[in-house]
Amino acid sequence: MSERKDLTTRQGHPVYDNQNLRTVGPRGPATLENYHFLEKMSHFDRERIPERVVHARGATAFGHFEATGKVGDEPIAKYTRAKLFQEAGKRTDVALRFSTVAGGRDSSEAVRDPRGFALKFYTEDGNWDLVGNNLGVFFIRDAIKFPDFIHSQKPDPVTFERQVPNRVFDFISQSPEAMHMVMLVFSPRGTPASYRTMQGFGVNTYKWVNAAGETVLVKYHWHPKQGVKSWAGSDLATVQGQELGVHTKDLYDAILAGDHPEWDLYVQIMEDHDHPELDWDPLDDTKTWPENDFPLRHVGTMQLNRIPGNFFAESEQIAFGTGVLVDGLDFSDDKMLVGRTFSYSDTQRYRVGTNYLQLPVNAPQTRVATNLRDGEMAYYVDEAGDNPSVNYEPSVTGGLEEAEKPSHVEQGPMIEGRIGRGRIPRTNDYKQAGERFQLSEQWEKDDLVANLSDALNQCDRHIQERMLWHLYMVDDELGARVGEGIGIGLDEVKSLEPLATQTLNDEERERLANLGQNGPRDVSGVEMTHCVPNERVEVTESPVGA
């Protein structure tokens, strides 16, 4: 073994924990003095110019959202006071940017990758951004790992070879929380046949707040009225050989032809506390909420009916941020959400410019009055108070004043805990991944096995063995079939110990003791997010319009 080389900050400080944000208790809110995280994320946000570091390839379309005034069968005011939801038939203008994650601005859209699903609602109370993806979960649960994860997916810094399997699975093999996402992104769900025929999710856990200040936890789901359709992995080379921008062309052709795609918005609702009765944490974005316990409730429908007048102005320069919420919506302490809320807006100020919110596509369709001034590309001054010389607050000489506070000041649960770096206690990285495999359609299972086997065959032996160990922890059949595909048997991996960063629960320790002999997981009665029917689209001479 070579001499140990410890990780440090740019200041030369040893990094003792590169896995967890500093939080109040293991699952509480993050603290602002997260120096290592802020330095790491700030640098990551500035790695590329001028295209986005991630989600560089994308397409925006415009339309409206129409509310039902209800959440399921109940008046929505019971749960949130957000004005855009209150009245049946109320319409709010929206912009939706679809995207891939890892590729550059001119890369192929027909690749295996999560798809961004980012909404901007131009509400009467200002903008609301709901920034998610098409797969419902993510690879990591703590934002401090985001630069590391993306680096593992991006080109090799020496050879610039893109998405090298050995790099991808080197990271994933040491990050078992990624196994749920692996079940999706390496299945046909990771290769949607079009933007119009894929689901969208908020991914993170948010809160709703009603007029009395009462809060609930919520998850957002978009279901396409066009149905869900995907390609198999064997189709991708054919598609890429015909059209790099296949999804953008399909979307824009449909809208121009008057075939306006629509999605229904559903939410799941949970009481706002830590739910110790569950074997997973509701703030963990590597998990979904079982729909048999937390049913989907319909709240409205979105339609896209306009393409950009100028692609650069309205798609390249559109900017989103998870911190962009309106009254009646709020954050949870989801560790990925906390990190994204800093990172997204910080990225836009760097990539587009200090005054990116003055661009028409980003500006709210309501009054803007701030004391913010100047910076590059400022082309108007926000509305001021009666005295334009006062650009500060408080003031008694004609400046802007604080808005009236709501009837309640404090909301949500009381949290106590020691500030430190800690992993959330209920990780349970394999159960939902295994249920996902069992609830997949047979053609999805077969494609998942083929795609994993193909990628792992390009990896080093020790990475193959650790990944196979994880796959057996997920599901016996999955482990056995991938093991056969890469020529490694159960006996060659069952003696592996858990990773030093893992803490297995009792169920997982029992599975490990019987590795490969656990049988299929019991999924009777389980309704799992994202297991809506998935139609395979057979690639023909021209996949556009599939």
Task: Give the number of other CB atoms < 10 A from CB of residue 21.
Answer: 21
Q: Which of 330, 301, 298, 294 is nearest to 71 (CA)?
A: 298
Tokens of 283: 């703030």
Which backbone phi and psi does 130 adopt, to 5 degrees?
Answer: -120, 100
Say whether 133 is catalytic. Answer: yes
DSSP state of 313: I
Q: Which residues face 130 on adjacent strands?
A: 119
Question: How far apart are the C-alpha atoms of 285 and 142, rounded to whole Å?
Answer: 9
Residue 226 sits at the vertex; the CA angle it makes with 225 and 230, to the nearest 5 degrees, is 125
Q: Which of 354, 368, 363 is nearest to 400 (CA)?
A: 368
Q: Which of 186, 423, 148, 439 is nearest to 284 (CA)?
A: 423
Question: How far apart are the C-alpha atoms of 214 and 195, rounded to whole Å?
Answer: 36
Say whether 36 is catalytic. Answer: no
Of the residues 133, 204, 391, 451, which is catalytic?
Answer: 133
Look at phi and psi of residue 151 and say left if phi exceeds 0, alpha if psi is from -120 to 50, else beta: alpha
Residue 19 sits at the vertex; the CA angle it makes with 139 and 471, to the nearest 5 degrees, is 40
Helix H, strand E, coil C: the string for 533-545 is CEEECCCCCCCCC
Q: Are 113 and 101 in contact (CB under 8 A)?
A: yes
Of the residues 20, 36, 55, 391, which is catalytic?
Answer: 55
Residue 364 sits at the vertex; the CA angle it makes with 360 and 367, to the nearest 5 degrees, is 115
Q: Are 276 and 220 in contact (CB under 8 A)?
A: no
Task: Give the number of other CB atoms < 10 A from CB of residue 32.
Answer: 9
Q: Which of 188, 61, 176, 173 is nearest to 135 (CA)?
A: 188
Q: Which of 504, 521, 533, 525 is nearest to 435 (CA)?
A: 521
Tokens of 131: 């920034």
Go through 301-310 and write b for each residue having 16 or more CB atoms within 10 A of its CB, e for each that does not: bbbbebbbee
Q: Which residues are catalytic?
A: 55, 133
